[in-house]
Amino acid sequence: MAIKVIITHNFKELSKVAAEIVKEHIIQGLQNKEEYVLGLATGNSPKGMYKILARIANSGEIDSTRIRSFNLDEYVGLPGENPQQRVLHPESYCYFMIQEFFGLLDKKFIETSLPYGCLIDQEQLVDELKAHPEDWSELGTDAGKSILIKDNPASEYLKWIRETILEGYAQKISAAGGIDLHIIGVGGRGHVAFHESGIPFENSNVLLVKLDDNTVDNAVKDGHFTTKDESPRYAISMGAELVYKAKAVLLLANGERKVESVTKSLLNDPSPDIPISYGQIYSKNGGNLTYILDKIVGRELLAKKEFLKKKGIEIEII
């Protein structure tokens, strides 16, 4: 199946186009089954779309009571003495989703789920990793690493993280029938959620990720956290391979910071250096992938329109 790239004039148009595509996917999907499963992202790119989707749901164009959702990622190590405080921290992705989408719905989804990162005590995690180096290994070629916890670790805490936090979330998605439509953004280096650049595609199901220093520094620079000590050092995240198991994937990107990674993800061969480039493999295997970009992000792709056409990538300008 071909990859489709839609280039819009600005962020407002991007949000409108994305919301309409999501609406049509939901309407069509609910014709054939009782529940529809959405995969959701945080960040600036989907904010406008979420507001429009909430208005669409509240007007009755889609039935939000027949939808359940799974989010891509959540921090480990948010400030707070217990899971309740951490999950309600203003920088938690749970809080973001309530503020930007879930709280705007008159009729709520069947269920909304996020990775269980707030259940993990970061200090205990660090202590267990130090005390049991034989229980885990790092995967990745860049600064951000996936922490692979081995089968039957000696540490009961690491075993709990592997079985309940990581495998448990993947199993919950599977029990729901998988994700029908996954909405994703993209990081500046082409990462999806916290599947950082250099982490392998293979077996990237639900990951425990050690964040690189650049990610931590940016979180402070952008005002999300006061100091580096307050900023989380780990996260739980769907990996690229799991994200692209959805029946359809909608990637949203706007702004100058996304130009290079989005361009490379389609012009170059798939590489873990640009995690969203896994979409090319997904498409070749029959996946339904659509990019919705503003004209800034789309400019380099538009310049290579004929080359992309030969790769089976269609560009539409709206």
Tens digits of pLDDT across the chain (318 residues): 689 999 999 999 999 999 999 999 999 999 999 999 999 999 999 999 999 999 999 999 999 999 999 999 999 999 898 999 999 999 999 999 999 999 999 999 999 999 999 999 999 999 999 999 999 999 999 888 999 999 999 999 999 999 999 999 999 999 999 999 999 999 888 999 999 999 999 989 999 999 988 778 878 887 788 888 888 999 999 999 999 999 999 999 999 999 999 999 999 999 999 999 999 999 999 999 999 999 999 999 999 999 999 999 999 999
Q: Could you give the C-alpha distances from 181 to 1, 40, 124, 269, in angstroms and in order?
A: 16, 9, 36, 24
Tokens of 237: 């995240």
* 266 neighbors 5 (Cβ within 8 angstroms): yes
- Written as one letter, the residue type at 86 is R
* 240 neighbors 176 (Cβ within 8 angstroms): no
- Written as one letter, the residue type at 217 is D
- Domains in the chain: how many in total? 1
Q: What single DSSP character describes residue 105?
A: -
Q: Please give the torsion angle defined by the CA atoms of residues 16, 218, 270 and 306, in that order, rounded to the nearest 10 degrees.
A: 50
3-state secondary structure of 230: coil
* CATH number of the domain that residue 18 is part of: 3.40.50.1360
Distance CA 296, CA 62 (A): 31
Q: What's the pLDDT at 214?
A: 77
Read off φ and ψ for residue 123, nearest 5 degrees: -65, -40
Domain housing 119: 3-317
Q: What's the pLDDT at 49?
A: 98
Give the chain's length. Answer: 318
* 180 neighbors 247 (Cβ within 8 angstroms): yes
Q: What's the pLDDT at 136?
A: 98
Read off φ and ψ for residue 197, nearest 5 degrees: -55, 130
pTM: 0.95
* Sequence-distant (≥ 6) Cβ neighbours of residue 312 within 8 angstroms: 2, 3, 283
Q: What's the pLDDT at 218?
A: 76
3-state secondary structure of 203: coil
* 153 neighbors 162 (Cβ within 8 angstroms): yes
Q: How many other C-beta atoms lie within 10 A of the C-beta of residue 172?
A: 15
* Interhelix angle 259-267/295-303, nearest 10 degrees: 30
Q: What's the pLDDT at 183?
A: 98
Q: What's the pLDDT at 1?
A: 65
If you write DSSP's letter for every residue of 129-184 in order, what string do you get? HHH-GGGEEEE-SSSSEEEEEPSS-S-HHHHHIIIIIIHHHHHHHHHTT--SEEEE
Beta strands at 313-317 and 3-8: parallel, antiparallel or unpaired: parallel
Helix runs in the chain, H state only: 11-29, 47-58, 83-87, 93-100, 122-131, 156-160, 167-175, 213-221, 240-243, 259-267, 278-284, 295-303, 305-310
